[in-house]
């Protein structure tokens, strides 16, 4: 009887084991399920390149295989010449297994698969926030610059309405063509140009590329060529061409490519750069490398259209105020010039009176200005605005430090006089809001270092006297009120 029961139990276990085995066979291996291959050369995943060729412990995509073949057939190809190119990520030791079969692919040539995404709906006009909504969201992060935020909100709204019209079938039904709303931002250092653009891109959930105009040069000269700004945008969009083509490119320090005066040499980083930017601003197809900022024989290329990319150019434009004042003063009646000059010297919004004539005199060519129809001017930040910037935005720097000490169960308090002291120091540096963090980090270092030593500390009050080095911060222990 016992033998019969034993045989029955053994039979049941065997059936269970077989069921488990069959279930395991249905499921793909965990590694295959969670990871996909990436090309050794261009680092793109198989979901982007298509099926890979695997040999000698190495994955290669079709594009890179073709590039390598073309290089060899067109006069020979010395692999050792590219081993020191950092953007190629090549290591010659990895090529030692090329003639071996069934070599395991190392983890560094695999990437975690992205979760399957549902197909995104077509670009819908209803998804575009109205100008007042855009401004309300900007108000949460950007203090001051009310007129600039209003102008940008309308310009961005109109830009994406244009994108919708271009993408929809309505463009064939109507003969009206809406021009691009590219923007020129003029404002002193530290007035918030870059921060405003970053916040805008984040709120709209579009990719953003930031380039420095001083690094751009005419094609064929040392420096970044014009197409490099599109490469950065493609990288910011995770190499998604469709998403990149609706992104934003911000070119900072645009005043640095003003036409040079009284020069006999070729202006490769000034007027020539303005000329080469024209097609990009207006809309053109640009061939850019995928997964790299450098063009080379082994890097696959793709085409990006700049037709629907919003370009924002920003700069401080030093001496532009003098050009504006000179124009306004020269138009005055004889005898009133001195009086008007004094009036304009005290005008905090003198940049708001800028015209294309002033910008041409500064050194910007007419064709370039024509591709930037929207001009936005930002004012210098006053002490009052700097104090508000310290405490009001959603991610204000004071709120960040308060949160850090809150994790130590310590309350951080800044007296109003202390905030004014910080703003005054920032104004002395003449770098606007940019100086606020460095000033605060300087005196907060000792506090952040010392406070965690004593668990009995309940609060810290920052006073103006402490910042003037007349004593320390006010410390209150727990249990005392």
Question: Where in the sequence is the domain holding 102, given as residue range(s)?
Answer: 27-107
**Residue 392 covered by a domain:** yes
User: What's the confidence (pLDDT) of residue 172?
Assistant: 52
- Domain termination residue (choose one: 344, 375, 406): 375
Domain boundary residue, one of 375, 410, 443:
375
Q: Read off the pLDDT of residues 198-218 as tens digits, 9 standing for 90 and up.
A: 999 999 999 999 999 988 876
Question: What's the helix, strand, coil split of the chain in %, to 5?
Answer: 50, 15, 35
* Same-domain status, 240 and 159: yes
140: in domain:
yes
Distance of alpha carbon 267 from alpha carbon 216, whole angstroms = 12
pLDDT on residue 340: 63
Q: What would the mean pLDDT of 367-380 be, rounded to a whole number?
A: 94
90 and 137 both lie in a single domain = no
For residue 467, the model assigns a pLDDT of: 94
| Same domain for 392 and 322 | no
Whole-angstrom distance, CA of residue 258 vs CA of residue 362: 7
Average pLDDT of the residues of the chain: 80
pTM strictly above 0.85:
no
pLDDT of residue 175: 63
Tell whether 60 is covered by a domain.
Answer: yes
In this structure, what are the phi and psi dihedrals at residue 312, rounded to the nearest 5 degrees? Answer: -125, 120
Residue 283 shares a structural domain with residue 216 = yes
Report residue 330's pLDDT band, with 50, 70 and 90 as the boundaries.
confident
Dihedral pair phi/psi, residue 121, rounded to 5°:
-70, 165
Residue 198 and residue 288 in one domain: yes
Shared domain for 393 and 343, answered yes or no, is no
pLDDT at 88 > cutoff 50: no
Q: Tell me, yes or no, whether 284 and 327 share the same domain.
A: yes
Q: Is pLDDT above 70 for 194? A: yes
Report the helix count and the strand count for the chain, using DSSP H and E: 20, 14
Question: Residue 74 above 90 pLDDT?
Answer: no
Q: Region 311-338: what's the mean pLDDT?
A: 81
CATH number, position 158: 3.40.50.300
CA atoms within a 13 Å half-sphere pointing along the CA-CB vector of 228: 19
DSSP three-state, residue 184: strand
In a domain, 101, yes or no: yes
The side-by-side arrangement of strands in the sheet containing 248-252 is 208-212, 248-252, 310-315, 183-186, 374-377
**125-134, 135-144, 439-448: range with lowest mean pLDDT:** 125-134
> Does one domain contain both 192 and 315?
yes
* Phi and psi angles of residue 216, each rounded to the nearest 5 degrees, phi first: -85, 140
Quick one: what percent of the chain has pLDDT higher than 90?
46
192, pLDDT greater than 80: yes
Please compute Rg for the chain using Cα positions. Answer: 30
Residues 318 and 247 both lie in one domain: yes
- According to DSSP, the residues that pair with 414 across neighbouring strands are 462
Provide mean pLDDT across the span 407-418. Answer: 95
Asked whether residue 334 carries a pLDDT value surpassing 80, the answer given is no
Same domain, 339 and 401: no
Please indicate, yes or no, if residue 124 is contained in any of the structural domains. Answer: no
pLDDT at 30 over 80: no
H/E segment holding residue 472: none
Residue 152 to residue 182: CA distance in whole angstroms: 10
Domain count, the chain: 3
Q: What integer pLDDT is reported at residue 464 of this predicted model?
A: 95
The answer on 137 and 91 residing in a single domain is no
354 and 388 assigned to the same domain? no
| Span of 293-307, 426-440, 448-462 with lowest mean pLDDT | 293-307
In a domain, 10, yes or no: no
Q: pLDDT of 135-187, one tens digit each?
A: 999 999 999 999 999 999 999 999 999 888 877 655 555 567 788 899 999 99
């Amino acid at each position: 009887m016992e033998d019969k029961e034993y045989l029955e139990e053994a039979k049941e276990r065997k059936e269970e084991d077989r069921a488990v085995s069959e279930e395991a066979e249905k499921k793909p291996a965990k590694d295959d399920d969670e990871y996909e291959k990436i090309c050794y050369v261009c680092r793109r995943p198989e979901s982007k390149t298509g099926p890979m060729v695997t040999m000698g412990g190495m994955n290669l995509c079709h594009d890179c295989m073709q590039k390598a073949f073309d290089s060899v057939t067109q006069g020979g190809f010395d692999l050792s010449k590219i081993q020191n190119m950092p953007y190629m990520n090549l290591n010659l030791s990895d090529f030692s297994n090329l003639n071996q079969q069934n070599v395991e692919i190392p983890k560094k040539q695999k990437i975690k698969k992205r979760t399957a995404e549902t197909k995104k709906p077509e670009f819908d006009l209803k998804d575009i926030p109205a100008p007042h909504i855009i401004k309300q969201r900007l108000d949460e992060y950007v203090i001051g610059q009310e007129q600039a935020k209003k102008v940008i909100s309308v310009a961005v709204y109109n830009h994406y309405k244009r994108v919708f019209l271009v993408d929809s079938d309505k463009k064939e039904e109507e003969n009206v063509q809406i021009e691009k709303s590219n923007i020129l931002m003029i404002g002193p250092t530290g007035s918030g140009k870059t921060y405003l653009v970053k916040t805008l891109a984040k709120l709209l959930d579009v990719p953003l590329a930031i380039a420095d105009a001083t690094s751009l040069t005419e094609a064929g000269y040392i420096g970044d060529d014009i197409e490099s700004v599109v490469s950065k945008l493609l990288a910011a969009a995770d190499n998604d061409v469709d998403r990149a083509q609706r992104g934003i490119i911000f070119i900072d320090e645009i005043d640095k490519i003003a036409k040079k005066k009284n020069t006999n040499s070729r202006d490769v980083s000034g007027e020539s750069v303005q000329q080469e930017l024209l097609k990009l601003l207006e809309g053109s197809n640009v061939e850019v490398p995928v997964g790299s900022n450098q063009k080379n024989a082994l890097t696959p290329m793709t085409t990006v259209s700049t037709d629907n990319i919003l370009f924002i150019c920003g700069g401080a434009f030093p001496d532009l105020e003098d050009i504006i004042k000179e124009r306004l003063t020269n138009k005055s009646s004889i005898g009133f010039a001195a009086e008007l000059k004094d009036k304009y010297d005290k005008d905090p919004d003198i940049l708001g009176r800028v015209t294309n004539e002033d910008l041409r005199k500064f050194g910007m060519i007419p064709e370039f200005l024509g591709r930037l129809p929207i001009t936005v001017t930002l004012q210098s930040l006053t002490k009052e605005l700097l104090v508000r910037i310290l405490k009001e935005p959603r991610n204000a720097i004071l709120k960040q430090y308060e949160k850090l000490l809150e994790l130590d169960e310590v309350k951080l308090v800044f007296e109003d006089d202390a905030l004014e002291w910080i703003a005054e120091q920032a104004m002395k540096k003449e770098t606007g809001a940019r100086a606020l963090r460095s000033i605060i980090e300087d005196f907060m270092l000792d506090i952040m270092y010392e406070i965690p030593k004593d668990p009995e500390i309940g609060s810290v009050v920052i006073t103006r006297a402490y910042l003037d080095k007349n004593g320390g911060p006010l410390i209150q222990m727990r249990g005392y009120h």
